[in-house]
Amino acid sequence: MSKTKATLHVRSHPLEALVAATVGFFVGFAAVALFNVTAKTFKEAMGLDPVQVGLLVAMPNLSGSLLRIPFSAWVDTDGGRRPMLTLLGLALLGMLGLIALLLAYYPDGLTAGLYPVLLFLGFLSGCGIATFSVGISFVSYWFPQNRQGWALGTYAGVGNLAPGLFTFLLPTALAAWGLLGTYVAWTALLLLGTLVFYALGYGAPYFQLLRLGLSREEAKAQARALGQELFPQAPSWRPWPGRRPSGAPGFWWPSTSPPSAASWPSPPGSPPTGGSSLART
């Protein structure tokens, strides 16, 4: 494939990608405040004790924290579009579930028996919090090194406004629209942000060119011509999920199966001990 033919298919540009990532992060990260203000309402309706209320408030933060690492790693193979849309989609699913729960049971039927369902929906809604780490990598791939500071500062600065802003606005929304109306408005904003990212948020040129069928070398060369400077370091082997041996520098990838303790590499200066073959990236 010629350079001209390939580059014509590259969608978006750095500023569009920054806007898309910032909007996605803003609407997703707002889930930090999902139950902060409304916890009192759920406590009174369901008769929750302080421990249950604390777990309810923490649940969105738990899912957001747990998913940050695997979804951030996914960006290195995808460019960020699918990880971000997956997280926002899960958050939307959780918010729609909350609305359905409130429509069906609030206020009289919302009993303590539905508490596990509420926790699960809060867990789903909190998936949007993990967009932070996805967006960091997504934006970094789009911008050259001399503009990454500005781009990442804009992304994080605007996105981190969401929890405080939502916590400030929620009491007013609750007074005006009630619990159900507030969550409907929140879901509408989340949907709008998801659509903005869907329209504008494409991975950096290197990842788009790979999907067009170019080899890694061709995609990297053409992405460089388009201004991309940061590229993922693709491993030649699938990583073993066990911990890295103590004293082994860098990241280690087994060539066949997880190594036994006897086959771990010796510190520099020690005599070789043999064992299974390891390739270091």
pLDDT by residue (tens digit) across 127-165?
A: 999 999 999 999 999 999 999 999 999 999 999 999 999
CATH number for position 192:
1.20.1250.20
Choice between 251 and 46, residue whose per-residue pLDDT is larger = 46
Identify the pLDDT of residue 235: 55
Question: Residue 71's domain spans which residues?
Answer: 14-204
Per the structure block, which two tokens stand in for 57? 């408030």
Q: Is residue 274 part of a domain?
A: no
The contacts of residue 97 (CB under 8 Å, 6+ apart) are 117, 120, 121, 124
Q: Are 209 and 223 in contact (CB under 8 A)?
A: yes
Identify the pLDDT of residue 234: 57
Q: Is residue 115 part of a domain?
A: yes
Min mean pLDDT across 92-106, 223-237, 259-273 is at 259-273
Q: Is residue 68 part of a domain?
A: yes
Average pLDDT over residues 257-261: 43
Q: Is residue 267 part of a domain?
A: no
Residue 252: strand pairing partners = 280
Distances 237 to 8, 61, 274 between C-alpha atoms, Å = 33, 33, 20
Identify the pLDDT of residue 117: 96
Choice between 24 and 36, residue whose per-residue pLDDT is larger = 24
Q: Chain-wide mean pLDDT for the chain?
A: 84
* Look-up of token digits 């918010």: 95
Average pLDDT over residues 206-217: 92
Q: Is residue 73 part of a domain?
A: yes
Q: Are 126 and 64 in contact (CB under 8 A)?
A: yes
The contacts of residue 208 (CB under 8 Å, 6+ apart) are 9, 10, 11, 79, 202
Question: Does the pLDDT value for residue 27 go beyond 50?
Answer: yes
How many other C-beta atoms are found inside a 10 Å radius of the C-beta of residue 19?
A: 18
Handedness of CA 177, 182, 184, 185 (dihedral sign): positive
What is the distance between the alpha carbons of residues 11 and 18, in angstroms, rounded to a whole number? 13
Identify the pLDDT of residue 267: 46
Identify the pLDDT of residue 233: 81
Dihedral angle computed from the Cα positions of residues 120, 126, 127 and 129, in that order, rounded to the nearest 10 degrees: -170
Question: Does the pLDDT value for residue 118 go beyond 50?
Answer: yes
Per the structure block, which two tokens stand in for 187? 């879901």
Q: Which of 56, 18, 50, 14 is nearest to 34 (CA)?
A: 56
Q: Is residue 169 part of a domain?
A: yes
Q: How many domains does the chain have?
A: 1
